[in-house]
Structure 1
């Protein structure tokens, strides 16, 4: 046997001895572990069959349940402001974000034109009332004198026409005046007689005074004029746009000089004293909401403070 073969055999023998020794050591360790566990598990004569345990009492949690939800804070009342009448936007008295009070003037639309109509209606009322008063007062002495003077003038005109017609007729009979001249004189005579008749009738009416029908018609004219004035005043009021409630101006949809149609929305007034929170809640969280309870919320746009609702 060579020296190399002797060395290899010796190495193999030592390896087998090492493995056997390792097996024995591991076995002893396992046996000791089992013995120790058995000793700990088996009760001693002085030990109890029961073990001490800790007990916690379960009580209701009266703390505050915080379930955050994201929602939207909206005004409980928003009023759109529109013009019932169409026309030119003459003046504006508000800006976006401005706080206004109920009844505050916001705009004037076609107001100047309607003011002219109001003045015309007032003048018409004055005229109608003046005529009614004249009729109720009866004829004045000046009116009678003027009517009598008209009759006298018509008589004088008729006398002159009769004299002229007689002269032309004589000339026509002597073949000096033509038939055309005679016809013209005849027409002038008829007109003069008609004028006298009209003047006499007018004098008679003036002396009798106004009829009851005329007085009733004058009263009706006064009422119509008053109604026209009321309509003009109503239109004037509608042309001046006022805030329907107190709050904040949400936007401005018009500028001065624009022509807007009837019903055009110029702005919206938002009530800043009464808000509501709109949010979506899962069904499992609905039990946390109770009517009449107070809940806290935060508006990130204005800071870290909490508000109650």
Structure 2
């Protein structure tokens, strides 16, 4: 080899083999050893191959209903919204409500009896005011002061009665939601709700909305009856304020209009039949309506709905 011929760095020299050089100079370092996986962690497989567990075999995903997974539908009551929102069939909702009613029928019959008794007390007061007006008319004593005083008394009593009936309705809804969670409604838990002031504000808001709806040739009342059935559900079950609860009910019905509207028609027909049977059927149809609507509300909002099991439902915690 001539002196002008450059020496190949990778050819062995007279003094022994020359190690490969990297561009920055110096000998090339051997590749680092691969870092072993952390103890207990899965080994990394080639792309497209199933992951291997440290004990051999493919790593199994967590079971449905396990940590980080939503509970299976119909399982024990879990965090609100843990289950995916879904629609429902009218027959399914009616069947669920009927089974819940028959499993706790005595409580529900007594609850309706209490509601009727409270309503009769306030209606009796209004009836007395109307009777006084008629007697005054027969005497020819139609003074402005008498008519104004009676009218004011009737309005105030009617407003108070409406608020109390609304509170009872919210309590019934709370009891129905408790049944949907898998616990029997009891008298010890009936009056335990999140916020009585918010229930009263919601009742006043609905009264104002009903008055405005009546001014719109009654069309507003029809819209309120169709789109506001879940207002108190939003208050007692989701802790929403009165306005958000009302508008939230409109959104829920609008997003699930077909199923909810058919259910409302079915409940209307059932309650009409209950009223025709000397009113005695209402002791069944009113609780059934509350339980069915609670089921529908939980289904379309992803709330917990407990499966119906054989035997009596547990009493559950102190607060629904």
Normalised TM-score (structure 1): 0.29
Higher RCO structure, 1 or 2 (CA under 8 Å, sep 6+): 1
Higher fraction of strand:
1
Highest CA radius of gyration, 1 or 2?
Answer: 1
TM-score by length of 2: 0.28
